[in-house]
């Protein structure tokens, strides 16, 4: 496979959030020529790290104003399809943002695109929502591939399943990366900060800590661990983190049943570099990291995508 540093292509970063997808494509040698993100706090984080403010609401941006590009990348809003959300799909106005992706692809005709969304998109409305999306993309003349990938398989200790849709203007051979079947990579011990260095504000109250301890009495508890509280109130101490969520309760994930994740730990669980700077309040930071992507997963998919484009190996 071609070395990443030898690649050279242009891409756009839609629904950019704090730039996780951009980092993944830049690691593959790409140059971002346009970005769009409507959230003002995420825009500030994006500017601090990339030196530019993304364009705003994509629904108000004419497709002719967007530069030509080789690859369109978009982690389009997932709330309409999320298990945690109301699962309204296209009945939710955010769900219709997919159609802005459709109109941009139709106008700009990139060589390829990569779309990312929550796993529940696959089963939403008994599969009809995904079928609508695939049908519309196919009608634009693209050859499609899709698969659910888990962050746990790509070197990060976070169980985060997301569906990836890849499309090519030509019928290139494409294989999704399998990840690391040996589960080597970073562990929680690599991600977590020393407890003595964590500010007191991240520690749960004595009442919550005692309640957590009582709930796992008699269970096998790994160390270190992230204790996950599900919607039913059941506590699971795990040697990995369950998915970071944008709108989750303050204490649904507790390190060793005692404290919340720090901003740096949240960023590490998504694969952001140590030099990445995030802005905002604690709740705004949870929102930004929870809405972001796991960079190593996107980077691996992007690497395969670029390999297909540059080698032009046909699927037939």
Give the pLDDT confidence of 155-191 residue by residue, as tens digits: 999 999 999 999 999 999 999 998 875 456 899 999 9
Burial label for 147, CB within 10 Å (0-12, 13-18, 19+), is middle
Chain mean position to CA 285: 15
Q: Where are the alpha helices (DSSP H) in the chain?
A: 20-26, 40-50, 98-108, 128-139, 188-191, 206-215, 263-269, 282-291, 295-311
Least trusted range by pLDDT, from 31-45, 77-91, 211-225, 243-257? 77-91
How many Cβ atoms sit within 10 Å of the Cβ of residue 186? 15
Q: Where do the domains of the chain lie, and which CATH numbers do they carry?
A: 4-182+291-311 (3.40.50.150), 188-289 (3.90.120)
For residues 56 and 31, give the distance between their C-alpha atoms in angstroms, rounded to a whole number.
20
CA 152 to chain centre: 13
Q: How far is CA 154 from CA 70, 128, 185, 264, in A?
A: 26, 29, 8, 19
Return the bridge partners of 144, or none. Answer: 167
Q: How far apart are CA 38 and CA 55, in angstroms?
A: 7
Tell me if residue 50 falls in helix, strand or coil: helix
pLDDT class of 78 with cuts at 50, 70, 90: low
C-alpha radius of gyration, the chain, whole number:
20
Q: Are 300 and 154 in contact (CB under 8 A)?
A: yes
Q: What is the pTM of this model?
A: 0.91
78, 97, 165, 188: the catalytic one is 78
Reading the block at residue 20, the tokens are 């996780």
Q: What is d(CA 30, CA 53) in angstroms, rounded to the nearest whole number?
A: 19
Contact 315, 174 (CB under 8 A): yes
Winning range, highest mean pLDDT, from 80-84, 214-218, 274-278: 274-278
* Whether 78 is catalytic: yes
pLDDT digits (tens, 9 = 90+) for 108-156: 999 999 999 988 888 877 888 888 889 999 999 999 999 999 999 999 9
């Amino acid at each position: 496979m071609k070395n990443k540093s030898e690649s050279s292509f242009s891409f756009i970063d839609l629904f950019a959030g704090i730039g996780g997808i951009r980092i993944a494509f830049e690691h593959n040698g790409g140059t971002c020529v346009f970005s769009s993100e409507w959230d003002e706090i995420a825009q500030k984080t994006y500017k601090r790290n990339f030196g530019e403010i993304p364009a705003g609401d994509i629904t108000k941006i004419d497709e002719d104003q967007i530069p030509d590009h080789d690859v369109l990348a978009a982690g389009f809003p997932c709330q309409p399809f999320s298990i945690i959300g109301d699962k309204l799909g296209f009945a939710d106005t955010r769900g219709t943002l997919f159609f802005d992706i459709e109109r941009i692809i139709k106008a700009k005709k990139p060589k390829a695109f990569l779309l990312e969304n929550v796993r529940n998109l696959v089963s939403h409305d008994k599969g009809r929502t995904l079928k609508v999306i695939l049908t519309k993309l196919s009608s634009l003349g693209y050859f499609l591939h899709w698969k659910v990938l888990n962050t746990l398989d790509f070197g990060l200790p976070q169980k985060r399943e997301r569906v990836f849709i890849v499309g090519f203007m030509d019928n290139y051979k494409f294989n999704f990366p399998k990840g690391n079947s040996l589960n080597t990579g970073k562990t929680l011990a690599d991600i977590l900060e020393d407890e003595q260095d964590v500010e007191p504000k991240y520690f749960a109250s004595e009442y919550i800590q005692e309640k957590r301890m009582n709930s796992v009495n008699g269970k096998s508890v790994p160390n270190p661990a992230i204790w996950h509280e599900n919607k039913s109130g059941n506590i699971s101490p795990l040697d990995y983190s369950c998915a970071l969520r944008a709108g989750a309760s303050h204490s649904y994930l507790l390190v060793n049943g005692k404290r919340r994740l720090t901003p740096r730990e949240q960023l590490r669980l998504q694969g952001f570099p140590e030099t990445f700077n995030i802005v905002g309040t604690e709740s705004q930071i949870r929102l930004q990291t929870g809405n972001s992507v796991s960079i190593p997963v996107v980077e691996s998919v992007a690497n395969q995508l670029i390999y297909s484009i540059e080698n032009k190996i046909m699927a037939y």
